[in-house]
């Protein structure tokens, strides 16, 4: 009348087996989650550089085409009115350091100094991405992530590398000399 009843098979796991399975699952998932978090941090750093580069261009538009004065983090503080006073924009999310600000090389630049190649002049950089890559904002506002292969020990080396890897090779001008000198000044200040 009711047909045959099927036997229900039950699997009994011991607590040790469950712990082992959970440990294996965590060992597989944690590195993937760490890589995803790191990639999100790099994307946020690129976004911060883009926002800062745009704020620099807005500042220049309001100040007779001069970029903010004062190399380093002090020059970037003048951008606050253009950035809704968001403190996180001024720090690289990848480095994990509380006092890590982006390096600003645009001190003393006037937009006209960039001549016909603003995309060649690095004005802002962050090079704390595990020593393998860094993010550079150029004078025209575009941002690139460059594979460094090693962590640069000086701002001057970083600026030279960023310039050489721009799409405007051979475009040295007055702006380039100012940016290079600002990088050298930052290196001297770091040694003192």
Q: How many CB atoms lie within 10 A of CB 41?
A: 16
| Structural domain total, the chain | 1
pTM score, whole prediction: 0.66
CB 94 within 8 A of CB 110: no
pLDDT, tens digit (0-9, with 9 covering 90-100), for 40-59? 888 888 888 888 888 888 88
Domain membership of residue 167 as a residue range: 15-191
Q: Which residues, in sequence order, are CB contacts of 51 under 8 Å at separation 6+?
A: 83, 89
> Is residue 137 over pLDDT 80?
yes
Residue 5 domain-assigned (yes or no): no
Residue 6 domain-assigned (yes or no): no
> Is residue 77 over pLDDT 50?
yes
């Amino acid at each position: 009348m009711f047909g045959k009843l099927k036997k229900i098979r039950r699997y009994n796991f011991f607590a040790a087996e469950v712990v082992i399975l959970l440990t294996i699952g965590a060992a597989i998932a944690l590195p993937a989650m760490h890589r995803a978090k790191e990639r999100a941090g790099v994307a946020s750093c690129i976004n911060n550089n883009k926002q800062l580069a745009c704020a620099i261009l807005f500042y220049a538009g309001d100040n007779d085409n001069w970029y903010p004065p004062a190399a380093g983090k002090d020059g970037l503080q003048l951008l606050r009115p253009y950035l809704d006073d968001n403190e996180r924009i001024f720090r690289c999310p990848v480095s994990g350091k509380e006092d890590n600000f982006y390096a600003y090389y645009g001190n003393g630049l006037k937009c006209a100094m960039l001549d016909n190649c603003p995309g060649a002049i690095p004005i802002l950089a962050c090079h704390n991405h595990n020593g393998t890559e860094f993010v550079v904002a150029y004078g025209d506002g575009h941002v690139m992530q460059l594979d460094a292969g090693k962590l640069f020990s000086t701002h001057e080396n970083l600026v030279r590398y960023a310039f050489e890897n721009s799409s405007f090779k051979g475009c040295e001008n007055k702006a380039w000399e100012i940016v290079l000198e600002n990088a050298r000044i930052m290196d001297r200040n770091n040694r003192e």
